Amino acid sequence: MAIYRLLRRQVFEPEDLRLLGIVYEDVLKALGLVDRKDPATELIAKKLVELAQAGERDPQCLKDLTIEFVQK
């Protein structure tokens, strides 16, 4: 999955990794994305990592901001 490949290159605490994985799956589900090879999944993963690097850790906020970004 795109999110896990990106996270290997980042320094996050284990609980952050778990959180980002859950939010990633929630975003994909909310957007109806099931094909993990869809380029949109990579875009979603990158946005989640970017938000987390900026310090965001609230799951609902991460989800909302990522969906908003994708739907622009």
Summarised one tens digit per residue, pLDDT across range 28-50 is 999 999 998 899 999 999 999 99
For residues 2 and 44, is the Cβ–Cβ distance under 8 A?
A: yes
Do the beta carbons of residue 44 and residue 7 sit within 8 Å? no
Predicted pLDDT at 2: 67
Which residue did the predictor score with more confidence, 13 or 52? 52
When divided into structural domains, the chain yields a total of 1
Domain residues for the domain of 29 are: 2-70
Contact 67, 23 (CB under 8 A): no
pTM above 0.75, yes or no: yes
